[in-house]
Amino acid sequence: MRTETPQTIRLSEYRPSDYLIDRVDLDIHLDPTATRVRAMLALRPNPAGTPGAPLVLDGDELQLESLALDGKPLMQGDYTCAPDKLTIAQPPQDPFSLTIETRIDPTANTKLMGLYRSNGVYCTQCEAEGFRRITYFLDRPDVMAVYTTRIEANRAEAPVLLGNGNPVASGELPGGRHFAVWDDPHPKPSYLFALVGGDLGSVTRAFVTMSGRKVDLAVHVERGKESRADYALDALERSMRWDEKVFGREYDLDVFNIVAVSDFNMGAMENKGLNIFNDKYVLASQETATDSDFAHIEAIIAHEYFHNWTGNRITCRDWFQLCLKEGLTVFRDQEFSSDERSRGVERINAVRTLRARQFTEDSGPLAHPVRPREYREINNFYTATVYEKGAEIIRMLKTLLGEAAFKAGMDLYFSRHDNQAATIEDFLTCFRDASGRDLTQFALWYEQAGTPRVAVSGHYDADARRYRLDFAQSTPPTPGQAVKQPVVIPIALGLVGPNGEDVGGEAQGLETDGVFALSRASDSLTFENVSAPPIPSLLRGFSAPVRLSLDLDDAALLTLVRHDSDAFNRWQAAQSVATRLMTRPDRPGDSRGADALAKALDGFLAEEAEGDPAFAALMLALPPETEIAQEIGADVDPDAIHAARTALKIHLAETLAPRLATLRAQLASSRPYSPDAGSAGRRALRNIALDLLASCDPAIRPADEAEAMTAAQYDEADNMTDRLGALNVAIHAPGIGEALRDRLLADFRTRFTEEPLVLDKWFALQASVAEPGTLARVQELMRDTAFSLNNPNRVRALIGAFAMNNPTQFNRADGAGYHFVAEQVLTLDTRNPQLAARLLTAFNTWRVLEPGRRAKARAALEHIAARDGLSRDVADIVQRTLA
């Protein structure tokens, strides 16, 4: 089978469906290898479609058993049928029903799309186009129907049977079988359909909505792991309360079920009333989950719940509008986490993710607009751009319109488009109508790919007591978009005096809350009555997803570190100095730059570390190697970057060591473990302190001292954050000898043999070691009994971590890293194309590498491209990456 260049779907070619489906009645007989699905569809011609058009239903690897129209079996000549398509040439032009019987094999379904089995549990995944793997259907989000689902199964195999909506009936059947009937009164697109059947345990809680309706909440997990679902259940309740309070959104069914499964391609899925989760984002206990696991669980539980309004009640007209639900829902979950935790810390973490994933994507061959104009495989567009940049657009909208108008726009959106499949235009029109503001230029954020650059320079006129900022914006070309227009960039700013004092200054054209909206290619802003030359603090809170360049010297940046009133910019200033030191290192023998940074951080720690340890931990973390590579931008040598970063880290560690040692002791907790953000912050600071202490030259701090500290933290840990923190240091830090490293790795492996999610951490850690032996180690670990190519979490932990989290070893100069990952992509492609395509995106930076590595990466990509029979997922990514 030769790989065909897949067909391109274009936004400009959108047409309404020729038929609509109002009702779907499903009867599903679960069986491990021969599940029978009977679907009864109530259809009618769409007034907006082409009269008399043929009815063409989507399928994917389906086997048709029988077909009837208005109850009468259809004859051979009345329809044509293939695994991917069912066509009725001349359907009735009045309402009619179709009864379709298909047979599917959930055990053989390794793509994890449609109905499959995970550890024996039947579950479904239908977004984006998985429903067509269950029955023939108009599998597109603008076809919305009400569903009833009858599920029948062997009681011993699947005592728990769950569907969308409310449970309406259940009972026993002969032969050890039983059934349940679920009714979902809310019209929905097929991608939100779900069912689950299995032997699951659960934790439950009653919730009363703001209008007094009672809802039964439940989280279902593998039997025996119930207690690990408590945190998720609690996060669900808090999310529901928050959405009522902040967005005025109430839940709309009698039950809300969450099910955790161990084989899942993504994080989780917002199916109506029946969210299905990768168990990594549900299960948590003190011993097995890190603080960042807890934070992710909280965020993803919230995210999927918030989709009930932004995604489900109001869905997308077509898949080009994916950011309508995803960007908005990410924004909502970020706001939730900010309210539940620390706003400043949450913002910094969100920006770190954005820069690592979205900025990288936006500067490479896969760059695309937040609303793409075309795709060949929609699965490849669940990207950082659609999600994270999509969320930044909503945040900018709020910044530009202000709190009140933003809220009015959201309310209008909820009331005007409830029960509809909407577009970005519909969404923006609500904000225009609510605020009276013209959003035409703002809409460009959805259309233009690439990260805008904003260059700023400041000019002080002492005689006139005037300060002027000159701004210029430009967006680099991206695939298919050579020329860019200026966008509206909200720049939150303030002026800081040389000693941190307020230097006054009023500017025309500044919105009252200190936001300058840069909308032209270049513009200036003038402040009057400025008493001394100020230091500008720009893009406070990272008010726009742009790259800022500003000609501030290190001394000015270090003043911001100590004195800016904006937490984000304090952190950013330290990051900027560090980035500068790593891209333009001090000359040999001259370490003044690094000394100044170390001194500023030391002063900061002395005064503030104990008060806000989470923030302090972020201040101590150097920018990741990928970010430095982006800053360099061309002819990148990952080994040189790693060396520069390690050198700076050691330098900082040596200056800060005395203070860090004291802090570690002060922060040691005697209180019982709690996953709350405050306690997590203390652990984060202790862990980074340990990491730095273990990086010191033995001449400064004896290595056996570092080893003793690391071993003690590991052995005495009562929680996963501390234990994994110590293991991480043991495996990466130069000051730790092989003996300790091997002992801890072996201990961790035995201690958690029965814990797949913890073993994932063990695999990932070893795959990310920046040493030449790592590739061989990864290959050896693939033969570990706990490794499996069938489990996406395991593949991501070992192969994914190597490809995405280990810049020096994936980018080995001899090309062996590329070759290895390419082979894994090809192997995975035959069983799980989505997973394979995702792994392949590790190559997205290949063009900025130095020529030797670039040629080797290209060869690996061409090796993949040359393979016959590639999936559409992998063919699409490899072709765009090479283009």
Residues involved in catalysis: 304
CA–CA gap between residue 400 and residue 518 (Å, rounded): 11
Cβ(281)–Cβ(219) below 8 Å: no
Contacts of 790 (CB under 8 A, 6+ apart): 110, 263, 831, 832
Does 333 help bind ligand PHE (rule: CB under 6 A)?
no
Site residue total, ligand PHE (CB under 6 A) = 10
CA–CA gap between residue 45 and residue 37 (Å, rounded): 24
Does 625 help bind ligand PHE (rule: CB under 6 A)?
no
The minimum distance between CB 188 and ligand PHE, in angstroms, equals: 13
Cβ(356)–Cβ(423) below 8 Å: no
Partner whose binding site includes residue 231, from ligand PHE, Zn ion, none (CB under 5 to 8 Å by kind): none
Bridge partners of 459, per DSSP, are 468
The minimum distance between CB 361 and Zn ion, in angstroms, equals: 17
Question: Quick check: helix, strand or coil at residue 650?
Answer: helix
Q: Angle at CA 550, nearest 5°, toward 572 and 604?
A: 30
Does 612 help bind ligand PHE (rule: CB under 6 A)?
no
Among residues 568, 545, 565, 547, the alpha carbon closest in space to that of 346 is found at 568
The minimum distance between CB 828 and ligand PHE, in angstroms, equals: 17
Q: Which is nearer to ligand PHE, 303 or 683 (CB)?
A: 303
Which residue stretches of 76-188 are H helix? none
Does 304 help bind ligand PHE (rule: CB under 6 A)?
yes
Q: Which is nearer to Zn ion, 329 or 879 (CB)?
A: 329
Does 492 help bind ligand PHE (rule: CB under 6 A)?
no
Cβ(480)–Cβ(450) below 8 Å: no
Cβ(665)–Cβ(691) below 8 Å: no
Candidate ranges 68-76, 235-243, 262-270, 440-448; the one touching ligand PHE (CB under 6 A): 262-270
The minimum distance between CB 382 and ligand PHE, in angstroms, equals: 5
Question: Quick check: helix, strand or coil at residue 282?
Answer: coil
x-or-dash string of contact with Zn ion, 290-329, rule CB under 5 A: ------------------------------------x--x
* 75-95: b (≥16 Cβ within 10 Å) or e: eeeebebeeeebebeebeeee
The minimum distance between CB 404 and ligand PHE, in angstroms, equals: 29
Read off the tokens for 132.
């067509």
CA–CA gap between residue 458 and residue 243 (Å, rounded): 42
Partner whose binding site includes residue 268, from Zn ion, ligand PHE, none (CB under 5 to 8 Å by kind): ligand PHE
Q: Which is nearer to ligand PHE, 379 or 728 (CB)?
A: 379
Candidate ranges 263-271, 290-298, 504-512, 547-555; the one touching ligand PHE (CB under 6 A): 263-271
Partner whose binding site includes residue 26, from Zn ion, ligand PHE, none (CB under 5 to 8 Å by kind): none
Candidate ranges 180-188, 265-273, 397-405, 425-433; the one touching ligand PHE (CB under 6 A): 265-273
Partner whose binding site includes residue 269, from ligand PHE, Zn ion, none (CB under 5 to 8 Å by kind): ligand PHE
Does 297 help bind ligand PHE (rule: CB under 6 A)?
no
Q: Which is nearer to ligand PHE, 152 or 326 (CB)?
A: 326
Candidate ranges 62-70, 264-272, 427-435, 452-460; the one touching ligand PHE (CB under 6 A): 264-272
Partner whose binding site includes residue 266, from Zn ion, ligand PHE, none (CB under 5 to 8 Å by kind): ligand PHE
Does 382 help bind ligand PHE (rule: CB under 6 A)?
yes
Distances (CA, A) of 454 to 157, 445, 448, 478: 60, 15, 16, 17
Bridge partners of 538, per DSSP, are 493
Q: Which is nearer to ligand PHE, 131 or 802 (CB)?
A: 131
The minimum distance between CB 359 and ligand PHE, in angstroms, equals: 20
Distances (CA, A) of 536 to 469, 478, 771: 9, 31, 42
Q: Angle at CA 215, nearest 5°, toward 213 and 216?
A: 155
Partner whose binding site includes residue 125, from Zn ion, ligand PHE, none (CB under 5 to 8 Å by kind): ligand PHE
Binds ligand PHE by CB under 6 A, chosen from 269, 345, 558, 731: 269
Distances (CA, A) of 435 to 488, 490, 559, 652, 773: 17, 17, 39, 49, 59
Contacts of 460 (CB under 8 A, 6+ apart): 466, 467, 468, 530, 533, 534
Partner whose binding site includes residue 127, from ligand PHE, Zn ion, none (CB under 5 to 8 Å by kind): ligand PHE
Does 127 help bind ligand PHE (rule: CB under 6 A)?
yes
Candidate ranges 267-275, 412-420, 491-499, 602-610; the one touching ligand PHE (CB under 6 A): 267-275
Q: Which is nearer to ligand PHE, 675 or 792 (CB)?
A: 792
Residues 54-93 that bind Zn ion (CB under 5 A): none
Does 266 help bind ligand PHE (rule: CB under 6 A)?
yes
Q: Which is nearer to ligand PHE, 142 or 152 (CB)?
A: 142
Number of separate helices (H) and strands (E) present in the chain: 29, 32
The minimum distance between CB 304 and ligand PHE, in angstroms, equals: 5
The minimum distance between CB 324 and ligand PHE, in angstroms, equals: 12
The minimum distance between CB 270 and ligand PHE, in angstroms, equals: 5
The minimum distance between CB 112 and Zn ion, in angstroms, equals: 17
Binds ligand PHE by CB under 6 A, chosen from 143, 268, 503, 727: 268
CA–CA gap between residue 592 and residue 594 (Å, rounded): 6
Does 326 help bind ligand PHE (rule: CB under 6 A)?
yes
Binds ligand PHE by CB under 6 A, chosen from 102, 109, 118, 125: 125
Does 298 help bind ligand PHE (rule: CB under 6 A)?
no
Question: Quick check: helix, strand or coil at residue 613?
Answer: helix
Residue of this chain nearest to ligand PHE (CB atom): 266
Q: Angle at CA 811, nearest 5°, toward 808 and 813?
A: 95
Partner whose binding site includes residue 380, from Zn ion, ligand PHE, none (CB under 5 to 8 Å by kind): none
Site residue total, Zn ion (CB under 5 A) = 2
Judged on CB neighbours under 10 Å (0-12, 13-18, 19+), 835 is: buried
Binds ligand PHE by CB under 6 A, chosen from 31, 142, 222, 270: 270
Cβ(632)–Cβ(612) below 8 Å: no
* 689-721: b (≥16 Cβ within 10 Å) or e: bbbbbbbbeeeebebeebbebbbebbeebebbb
The minimum distance between CB 12 and ligand PHE, in angstroms, equals: 24
CA–CA gap between residue 574 and residue 580 (Å, rounded): 10
Among residues 572, 568, 579, the alpha carbon closest in space to that of 630 is found at 579
The minimum distance between CB 116 and ligand PHE, in angstroms, equals: 12
Q: Cα torsion at 669, 673, 677, 680 (round to 10°)?
A: 60
Contacts of 702 (CB under 8 A, 6+ apart): none
Q: Which is nearer to ligand PHE, 122 or 179 (CB)?
A: 122
Q: Cβ of 448: how many Cβ atoms within 10 Å?
A: 18
Binds ligand PHE by CB under 6 A, chosen from 111, 220, 303, 376: 303
Partner whose binding site includes residue 797, from ligand PHE, Zn ion, none (CB under 5 to 8 Å by kind): none
Q: Which helix (H) or strand (E) holds 852?
A: helix 851-865
Residues that bind Zn ion (CB under 5 A): 326, 329
Residues that bind ligand PHE (CB under 6 A): 125, 127, 266, 268-270, 303-304, 326, 382
